[in-house]
Structure 1
Amino acid sequence: MTDPLQTQAIAPALVFRGEGAWPQALPRIVALGRTPLLLGRSASTFGLRQQLAVDLEQAGARPVASQALRDCCEEDLGPLAREAVAAGCDAVIATGGGKVLDAGKLLAHRLGLACITVPTSAATCAGWTALANLYTPDGAFLGDVALDRCPDLLVFDHALVRQAPSRTLASGIADAVAKWYEASVSSGSSGDGLVQQAVQMARLLRDLLLLEGEAALADPHGEAWVRVAEGCALTAGLIGGIGGARCRTVAAHAVHNGLTQLAATHGCLHGEKVGFGVLVQLWLEEQLAGNRLAAQARRQLLPFFRRLGLPTDLEALGLAGASLDQLRQVCRFACREGSDLHRLPFAVAPEDLLAAMVGATAERQQA
């Protein structure tokens, strides 16, 4: 039975998207905050953030640029919050990848400030959502935090995002593809119309990515790139917003969370670990629930992921030399109480997951 009252944070209050979205958004940004904390962390985008700071100053703002973020962890968020308060910041502008965007959203949430997200890649939908993942300073996943609202403003400027390495878009494709495989399971037999619509959106997004993902990577100036990049960074977030808690992560993201417990995987991107997790989830559905469609889907995804250059086995994830004890550590974390993995409609023990991680990608690509 559908709950009589539900509240959902569905989307940012305003989205600017397209070529030149950043300069077009500047008046709105300044209206939200005259003294914004400009948050970033990657050395590769330092020059880009410097230019954004100049643009903000020319638009009448007094940005406070901070480079103190190592990870979206409490050890960094506390000092950043104190820095923002001391500087009299009235907004947070998070510019970067998923962890920067999550940190910016969480800071704005805790300080009661306006939140502006400016993704510099299409690797995740973190710029859209009312969720943030927390990690240790070393990059191990701890848990997620539900926020009271999505960002006040999302700026998805194609010119900024196009500068990101193609690897980030491939990672975003894997993360967005997971929406279908996870939402179709977590939604169960829900009769909620919005949940059903979100699941179907996830299916359509998967089809788009399978059809145009390779073309998007081949030509970052083509129309396929626009559809795929926006699908990964925007549509994927909308699916989670509309579907709510019944349309969220399952085993694929649980595997990601477990993999982050090993430092050897920290060189892999979020979506790369999630994509491997999709293959593992499908193996579990096939082997533990007899789902033949899951087997078919895995055989379809394996060559697709390989063509995108995504890791599809433990060796590619940096775990060629991992011991059984280390892999069991991953599996115990992924199977811990409260894990999203338990949204699967059947029980999964750590040893089942270990078998899946080894077996999910064992078969060779079909000719």
Structure 2
Amino acid sequence: MKWPWQSAETRSSSSLVALANLPTGQWGRMDAGALMRDGYIGNAVAYRCVRMIAEAAASIPLTSNDEDAAQLLAHPSPDEAGHVFLERLYGDLQITGNAWAEAVTLAGDAQPKGIFPLRADTVRAETSAQGALTGWAVRQRRGQRIIQREADGWSPVLHLKLYHPSDGIYGLSPLAAARKALDLHNGAAAWAKALIDNAARPSGALVYGRDGGSLTPDQFDRLKAELEATHTGSANAGRPLLLDGGLDWKPMSLTPADMDFAGTRHAAAREIALAFGVPPMLLGIPGDNTYATYREANIAFWRLTVLPLVQKVASALSIWLSARFDDVAITPDLDEVPAFAAEREALWSRLEAASFLTDAEKRKLAGVGE
């Protein structure tokens, strides 16, 4: 038995069928290319969150107790400054949950002379039959190249990743966790754009044959084509509709709930910001703000989101470069962060008032050298 609503068109106005069964929601893909396209490139909220975190984290300089390592971090490549290199790593971590950097050495020299970031969507893990990581495959314009560990076990590729509970190789992106909110935000924008293209109103209904009559298939197709060509889209807004032959136009209006696209988008935007750890107040998103002032929200952003990310990357760089630089230690220089200025002043005031401490002890507690 064929269901009556499987027909693509309803050509008779003598009966109407309304279906309330909603289809299953279709959510976007989780791969790196899709997250870049739908999130960073196609969504303003995600773009701003990634830029805020990456630029703030890259503004904190990384220092080292080794002069060669410090010089390498300050100028990792001939065409790129250190903060630009770090900004790319932080950005890839937020978009895809993974970031890769490759160290380049010269023949006969063990220490790296340059560090180059690798595009996150071009790197793939090479594993053994048992699932152990054996190297990295980097896609190029023609083919790919495999980067494996050197003879002493050191890997020329540094892999930074965010914690993923079900994957031991790849990390989990904040955009992946906020994928549903991202699709909802983009879908609300597409819905609003469709309304604007259709003169900001839904389609009406043409009623024919109040006494039970109906249009022939040819009349139905001709009338439908004429309406789509001359009476839909923003360019045809306000154009009068000429009716004859017993046709009657019944316009339909949107309810206030249907028009509340702004509220839906703001709720989705707050969820996207939550996944990144950016207070909605800093993004100008209206709604329930947790922090009383902009200053409190800014300090929380630096303390709870930016600083842990910088310390994570600094620790990873220290472990990675320790095999090529003796006992290297890479630490973030927090004295260069304006957001922590008030905390530094409070610490110095407490140390200055501590009469039971020597000057050497005060300088050590303040993080200042001898």
TM (norm. structure 2) is: 0.19
- Asked which structure has the greater CA Rg, the reply is 2
Which structure shows the higher helix fraction? 1
TM (norm. structure 1) is: 0.19
Structure number with higher relative contact order (C-alpha < 8 Å, ≥ 6 residues apart) = 2
